[in-house]
């Protein structure tokens, strides 16, 4: 191959090489113009590079070997919750219009709430990811389940993300009508449109108005505008103990009932 290239180099005149180089330079210039061209067909590509609209939900998923000890150590009550959630996931797979799950898991410190949460998340994710085939326009990285918590430390403890980062809620946001920009809303919809089950840990820390923000944002992301579509018809599993820490400088979800 090298000798053949050398022979071609000898046979070709200098002006022929110059013509090849000139044509190559023209191609490079033309490619650059195409890249800079304001073509709407390229918008989706350029948006992926925009840090302001990129949504990264850094969840960590437990493996079968990691989750097995938790499954084997569940007591009778935890097993009942586990099978109840698994049954709902199975129903949802066969009928997406099934009534959204609403479940509150509580207990004092040390009873295994976090381990149960991880077991439920593992099972739900496994069920929702079990599909016979992938549709041509389906995103194989779509999010079916999501673990959230109020603080960053709590989120790390359950391998999840904070509520504010998960749904683009500003820390100082006070209005339930605080809508996302079109670009950011599109990014959240692309990332969360397949969301079916939301886990919310350390619920005692969550102030009343943040629940309202979560409901507003989920209905916005899911494109549902109905007073009956609570949390955008997404299943909710809340975990925590209201006898533990309460919201800082704010009202708890039950304060209006007292």
Adjacency order of strands within the sheet including 161-162: 102-105, 235-239, 197-201, 145-149, 161-162
- Residue 96, pLDDT above cutoff 50: yes
Contact in structure between 196 and 92 (CB atoms under 8 Å): yes
User: 232 near 189, Cβ under 8 Å?
Assistant: no
CA-CA distance, 135 to 138, in Å (whole number)? 5
pLDDT of 149 reads 93
Q: What is the CATH number of domain 64-257?
A: 3.40.50.300
pLDDT digit string, tens, across residues 220-254: 889 887 777 899 999 999 999 887 766 565 566 65
The tens digit of pLDDT for each residue in 33-69 reads 544 445 544 444 444 444 455 566 666 778 889 999 9
Distance of CA 3 to the CA centre of its chain: 56
Alpha carbon of residue 104 to chain centroid: 21
Higher pLDDT, 105 or 171: 105
Confidence of residue 179 (pLDDT cuts 50, 70, 90): confident
Question: How does pLDDT run across 116-139, given as a tens digit for each residue?
Answer: 999 999 999 999 987 544 444 444
What per-residue string of b and e applies to 186-221 under the rule 16 or more CB within 10 Å gives b?
A: bbbebbbeebbbbbbbbbbbbbebbbebbbbbbbbb
Q: Which of 21-25, 180-184, 218-222 has the lowest mean pLDDT?
A: 21-25
The pLDDT of residue 123: 94
Where do the structural domains in the chain lie, given as residue ranges?
2-37, 64-257
**Residue 239 three-state SS:** strand
C-alpha span between 237 and 235 (Å, rounded): 7
Question: pLDDT exceeding 70 applies to what percent of the chain?
Answer: 64
pTM of the model: 0.71
Question: How many whole angstroms separate alpha carbon 255 and alpha carbon 258?
Answer: 5
Collapsed DSSP state (helix, strand, coil) of residue 144: coil
Query: Largest Cα–Cα distance of the chain, in whole Å?
Result: 94
On the 0-12 / 13-18 / 19+ scale of CB atoms within 10 A, 57 is middle
Which pairing describes strands 145-149 and 102-105: parallel, antiparallel, or unpaired?
unpaired
């Amino acid at each position: 191959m090298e000798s053949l290239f050398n022979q071609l180099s000898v046979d070709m005149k200098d002006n022929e090489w110059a013509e090849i180089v000139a044509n190559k330079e023209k191609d490079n210039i033309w490619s650059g113009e195409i890249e800079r061209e304001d073509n709407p067909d390229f918008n989706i590509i350029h948006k992926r590079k925009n840090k302001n609209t990129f949504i990264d939900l850094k969840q960590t998923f437990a493996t079968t070997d990691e989750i097995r000890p938790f499954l084997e150590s569940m007591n009778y009550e935890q097993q009942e919750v586990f099978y109840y959630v698994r049954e709902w996931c199975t129903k949802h797979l066969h009928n997406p219009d099934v009534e959204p799950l609403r479940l509150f898991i509580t207990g004092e410190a040390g009873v295994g709430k976090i381990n149960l949460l991880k077991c439920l998340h593992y099972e739900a994710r496994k069920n929702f990811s079990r599909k016979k085939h992938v549709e041509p326009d389906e995103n194989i990285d779509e999010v079916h389940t999501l673990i959230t918590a109020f603080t960053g430390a709590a989120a790390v403890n359950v391998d999840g993300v904070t509520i504010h980062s998960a749904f683009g809620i500003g820390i100082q946001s006070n209005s339930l009508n605080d809508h996302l920009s079109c670009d950011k809303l599109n990014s959240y919809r692309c990332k969360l449109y397949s969301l079916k089950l939301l886990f919310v840990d350390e619920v005692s820390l969550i102030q009343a108005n943040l629940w309202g923000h979560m409901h507003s944002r989920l209905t916005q992301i899911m494109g549902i505008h109905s007073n009956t579509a609570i949390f955008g018809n997404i299943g909710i599993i809340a975990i925590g103990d209201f006898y533990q820490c309460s919201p800082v400088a704010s009202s708890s979800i039950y304060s209006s009932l007292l």
